[in-house]
Amino acid sequence: MTQVAVITGASSGLGKEAAKALAGQGWHVIAVGRDAARTASAGAEIKAAAAQSGRVDILRADLSLLGDAERLAREIAGLTDRIDVLANNAGGMASGLVVTAEGNEANFTGNHLGPFLLTEKLLPLLRKAAADAPKGSVRIINTSSDASEMIPSINLDDMQNLDNFSVGVAYCGSKLANVLHARALGWRLADAGIVAHSFHPGTVASNFFADVSPETKAYTDTLDKMSEAEGADTLIWLATSPEGGASSGTYWYKREPRVPNPLFDDAEYIERFWKASEAQVVGVKV
């Protein structure tokens, strides 16, 4: 049976590299991008890299819009009845406060709330795959950042940081949310045999830095950067290797467990975080 991977943020960077790699291994890859031109260009590359037995579908969605996340889930369900790997890879760092038409802060929503909702909507397809697959072979992978380690906590009473907005806090909070989301999924999905992970890809020379603030760009321009293929290595490894299915909820860097934010082991806080995230996506209207 052909394995199915959904990869968001596949129009460039790590997501595109991971999509090309899995398509080249004969997977059915559902690649999701936001920008029309980049998504079309990446789609052509991914299809060109696909093995003869592979299949590639290209979809567009902006995960900072919860309605788009819900629509995307329906479109994916129209293409497959199972998902073996969900890579919540889409994300970015804004240069300032943007409030969407739905009234949400775009950066935190695009990095966490949209992927959180998409994951919930796709769980039936992940469970379907897990029902007849070896334990640990169905996986959810969140692309996070070492920015998750640079913030003490998320204000669960104002997750979107709207009362005291800061670009840095919005980004660091969303990346911590990626780690906590995967940690919680590891606990919640253990009985189903589904594993979840988050990882820090490192500083990658990619489109990620295109929209950051001038101050952030000035700093990141001083950093050594790895290639997109190098940054995608841990994502691909977590998706396909036996090691990726041997544990769950883990935070990784360069194929090795990495020390996470101390909240990683605070089960009570993570439960409150989960409920706060749910409250943010209740009643989504399309």
Catalytic positions: 171
Question: Is 7 in a helix, a strand, or coil?
Answer: strand
* Geometric angle at alpha carbon 236, from 181 and 130, rounded to 5°: 60
Asked if 150 and 104 touch (Cβ cutoff 8 Å), the reply is: no
Contacts 24+ apart (CB under 8 A), 261-270: 261/148, 261/149, 261/151, 261/176, 261/179, 263/153, 263/176, 263/180, 264/179, 264/180, 264/183, 267/187, 269/153, 270/180, 270/183, 270/184
- Burial call 27-52: b when 16+ CB within 10 Å, e when fewer: bbbbbbbbeeebbeebbebbbebbee
- Burial call 246-274: b when 16+ CB within 10 Å, e when fewer: eebbbbbbeeeebebbebbeeeebbeebb
Q: Phi and psi (nearest 5°) for 11? A: -80, -10
Q: Which helix (H) or strand (E) holds 40?
A: helix 36-49
Rg (alpha carbons) of the chain, rounded to whole number = 17
